[in-house]
Copies of this chain bind each other. A is one copy, B any other.
Amino acid sequence: MHLTIQRDVFMQAVQDVSKAVASRTTIPILTGLKLEAHADGLTLTGSDTEISIERLIPIEEGGIELIQIQRAGSVVLNARFLGEIVKKLPTNEVTLEVSPNFMTRIESGQAEFHLNGLDPDEYPRLPELSSERRFYLPADLLKTIIRQTSFAVSGQETRPVLTGVNFSAEKGFLTCVATDSHRLALRRARFETDNDLTFQNVVVPGRSLNELAKLLDREELPVEIVLTDQQILFRLKNISFFSRLLDGAYPDTSRLIPEEYRTAVRMNAKDFLQAIDRASLLARADRNNVIKFVAEEATTVEVSSHSPEVGKVSERVSILSLEGEELKISFNSKFVMDALRALDASEIEIQFTGSMRPFILRPVEQDSVLQLILPVRTS
């Protein structure tokens, strides 16, 4: 392998595929990136076996030449060193040349690196997914879905299936659900498919989705999503993002969501978020994050918190409307702040069915997204 490449393009690609490389691994070759030069350009691959990312740098893009390939070939180079080196190279023109023993010369300006490379034949092969089960989502919608659900996955490995977001599809609608059994995030979206695609229990690790989200910023084309029994593939322009799916049956969450309510409060989301943020300053001190919420008046609600050691705080927050019964309830302020940030709406409605029952936050007059939270029992 022998090629000349633009530093900035190379650096971006190395950073992209490095997202799949684990800092610690028991398989030494997985600390490396596979580089493969061929007639179409340079393909980089990083993997930790759960996530694999493949990125093509084409020979040219938009009429601009990105790579000159003098000799095809491949090598595996340490991801961390390669990333740091490329970032600090002195000029934008970089030459890579691999010797038969995989020693790789990287030259830029007056700087010359010789990195010990590894045999690319020892690098694990990516799965070749062939499946009829495929659909398309706009990149910004996919990013929003991830942002509105993945924060609510469980961080505990006791029920591994809850560390993922459950994707299901029926009648042209995609439903994504995440829950850690104290709260639940749900997002629905219409999707495009060539056939009448129906599936359920496709559970994608939350960590995979968070890494994928970082790659979606620059994406303008719709993302193609391909499903197999064990893997999901997100195909972006020049990037293939593979993730393992989680085993096990995702719990049926539909019956957790109350279908009616006894109290509904509409309010400005930002005012509410800031008031809870202030009240949680003292709540945090006791490490249970508990905030009290009282809806008894037509124009304001009260949020308050009390810490015997530090003191207490209370604040009245203006509301748009109160419908139904008066209510006192306690909740974890972090869960409500996470939910409000995820809704990303200027006006929200909170629907309660009593102080011991889960409550729902959703944007006013929009039912594609909801956040459900279990209250905290106090007494």
Contact = CB atoms under 8 A, between A and B. Distances in A.
B274 A113 contact: no
Given A88-B274, A88-B281, A90-B274, A310 B111 contact: no
The 9 closest A-B pairs by CB, nearest first: A115-B311, A111-B315, A113-B313, A114-B311, A110-B316, A116-B311, A114-B312, A84-B281, A88-B278
What copy number does this chain have within its complex?
2
A interface residue count range (under 10 / 10 to 19 / 20 to 34 / 35 or more)? 20 to 34
Nearest to A109: B315
B112 A311 contact: no
A257 interface: no
Interface string A89-112: 110000000000001100000111
Interface string A297-316: 00000000000011111111
A102 to B, nearest CB: 11
A243 B113 CA distance: 48
Of A78, A85, A113, A314, chain B has the most CB atoms within 10 Å of the CB of A113
Contacts of A112: 313-315
A116 B282 CA distance: 11
A199 interface: no
A128 to B, nearest CB: 33
Contact of A81 (B89, B104, B115, B310): B310
A18 to B, nearest CB: 15
A277 B88 contact: yes
Nearest to A317: B110
A78 B310 contact: yes
Contacts of A311: 81, 103-104, 113-116
Nearest to A316: B110
Nearest to A279: B111
Contacts of A221: none
25 contacts: A78-B310, A81-B282, A81-B285, A81-B310, A84-B281, A85-B278, A88-B277, A89-B278, A90-B274, A90-B275, A103-B311, A110-B275, A111-B275, A111-B313, A111-B314, A112-B313, A112-B314, A112-B315, A113-B282, A113-B313, A114-B312, A114-B313, A115-B311, A116-B309, A116-B311
Contacts of A110: 275, 315-317
A206 to B, nearest CB: 29
A184 to B, nearest CB: 28
A311 B78 CA distance: 11
Contacts of A285: 81
Contacts of A78: 310
A133 B46 CA distance: 64
Nearest to A104: B311
A349 to B, nearest CB: 21
A90 B315 CA distance: 10
A140 to B, nearest CB: 31
A112 to B, nearest CB: 6
Contacts of A104: 311
A156 to B, nearest CB: 28
A88 B116 CA distance: 52
Contacts of A277: 88
